[in-house]
Structure 1
Amino acid sequence: MSETWLPVPRESGFGMENLPYGVFSPEGGDARVGVAVGEQVLDLAAVLGDAEFARPSLNAFLAGGRLRWDAVRTSVTGLLTDPGRRDAVERCLHPLGAVTMHLPFEVADYVDFYASEQHATNLGRMFRPDSAALLPNWKHLPVGYHGRAGTVVASGTPVVRPCGQRKAPAEQVPTFGPSRRLDIECEVGFVVGSGSTLGEPVPTGDFAEHVFGVCLVNDWSARDIQAWEYVPLGPFLGKSFATSVSPWVVPLAALEHARVPTPAQEDPRPLPYLREDRSWALDLRLEIELNGEIVSRPPYAAMYWSPAQMLAHLTANGASVRTGDLFASGTVSGDEPGQRGSLIEMSWGGAEPLTMANGVTRTFLEDGDTVTIRAWAPGAGGARIGFGEVTGTVEPARGASAEHG
């Protein structure tokens, strides 16, 4: 990678090896597409003279496909490494601290998977202590469900505590009111750029032709609502109230050096449509911060199913994907207690409260709690590929049901 004339702090994670895309608005200006480099954001519409980037969404650019993505990345790299273009480019740079970030793309559809063996095993042990932790289908296919695209929100958007039906095991009848077991799910999201044709499955080898890049996801979950409603059709109101995504989408082109093999998939071996010649599993290092304190560091490399396998299964029945589709990994959890990606695991269903450094304990989220998820990945030459962060603060439930719940 060529050196840039722009000062880039090495620890920023937004060096030339990365160049993530987002939507920002400068003070007093309209929302538009930019690329983060160091502590600056480059206004692509201004520097490239392309009206496609003057829109408040990445979707038009995403729809252009792999050749377009590569061409723009090459152009941006050239601008930032050619000293002769410095004066012109500097006029199109804005300090990151002086801009407002927005939802980076219009979400077409949202699918959430359940791809961590450790997370699925932990929940199985909690909820089915007298049965096998994993259900019979889990190692045969990437389990998932369709979410609600309209409630995917930008990082920083407050999360209102949801209301719904909940019924504790000792209660005779359900009640309606604010969730008492509000949780997080530390996840990784994959953003579809180029759509597919209805009726034509996407093979694992075509993953990079359809998926543009990667973002961070917090799939907020109301565990009490979820537990009562999910039989027989799965997650519904316990999940659909809010899903937060990070403002920056890291292109797959920046993650080639982060690719790793999936964990062994030999017993059973996946069916042919789920096999990969070279895995798209990724070595991403995540961290979860609760009220300013890091409480877990989940390793994405431990995920059983890769995103290419998720996409192949998502489309195996001929379902198409569209520009702006988002599919997420499900909770990322590792083997160790300090690697769990949800509070239900950290507190073992509430039985083992999490004790913070200041002595405060948590089983599930309280009103006013702020959760932030960050991540980085290894890049070429020892570079650090940053993902920024996704954050949200819990606000009290609203309405009469909240007052009398």
Structure 2
Amino acid sequence: MFKRSLISVAVLAILQSGCGDDGSSGSASLPSGTSVSGTVPGTVIEAYGDNGSYYAVKSTDDGTAMHPFTLDVPAGVGFHMVMITGDGTSEEVVTPIGFRDSSGRVRTRLMLDKGEQVDLGHVPLHMGRNAAAQDDLDDDGVLDHPLVLDDVGAGNPLSLSDVDDDGVNDWDDDDHGGYHYHSDTVDPQDHDDDGIPNVYDHDHAEHPDDRDGDGLPDHIDANPDNDPDHGNDALDGDCDGDGYHDEDHDHDGYYDDDHDRDGYHDDDYDYDGDHDSDHDDDGVDDDENEAHSCGGDPGTTPPAPVQPPTPDQTSAPVQPPAPDQTSAPVQPPAPAEPPAAPPAALDGQALYTNSCSSCHGASGVNGTTAPQITSAISGNLGGMGSIALTPEEIQAIANYLAL
């Protein structure tokens, strides 16, 4: 808890000095209109994002026992919520927040669509260690299990959100909005899926390069110090601006080919953030010519534009031939080239295996029509992120899945 105590004091100081006691977020600017609100009995509310982002707010003391708060959160990025009473004191109690889905399973990861505003109502919390004793058997100040909002009369955020815009709230939706992790995906903020975020989980083994202890190495962490006044913009390689690395299609905070979860591509032996390879056989790793950011490689100088000729460089006019220079006989035209062969048909199954199966499995979404699949991929439904596919390739995938 030593690291948490240091973070807690810093968070409390910044929230009190940076935003006063008005219940507004202490984090940097976010897409407007996406928020979680409610009332609590005097509390700091935190959100830990999949990408390492961190957001915090202090509830407003309005002289009642139900202090209002509004926490701005990123749209399209999953996060875990924690509420803290007595923050920074010996009576501090940390309460992870959970909620049930339609199957009754307790979930702790939430994602909101842009513009969604979720009101949790009143969330009753333990005020002090004695009040929390039955739910904190080791008396470490962190509840042993999440507080399930459904069980204490508060609002369930899944019933109030529709991330994939399919007209079905995420509580009733078969795929819960399309953002819950598969069973074989490790949640970057909850390594053992016990509902306790890594920052507060004593059995979480921190990566040596993880200053905030949230489970993500610093070089792939959007906010490596969990600073509530940080821009949450430390990610490199998020060219589509969805909050995740472009090579993190399952949105677990790590590159898809980072099987040892050290924060680097498995073929990045020089640890510079790029793949180590030499596909063009020029004796130089291709990543030496790669762009390390979305703005391109600053070391590459574009060729100078071709300048138009100056007036004195213009060609002299062509003179007609002298009378004794008769023209050669006109030759018949060469036979026309045969038409090019039509392009080979696109292999929808191969395209799906390479671009989609890591998230959707081998069978995909069988039973869905080709137009529906085409619309889902083109419209980025479910937060799939940017996929480099042409319209023809998308159509080929849709035709394959709809067979």
TM-score if structure 2 supplies the norm length?
0.23
The structure that is strand-richer by fraction is 1
**Which of the two has higher C-alpha Rg?**
2
More helix by share: 1
TM-score, structure 1 as length reference: 0.23
Give the number of the structure with larger relative contact order, counting CA–CA contacts within 8 Å between residues 6 or more apart: 1
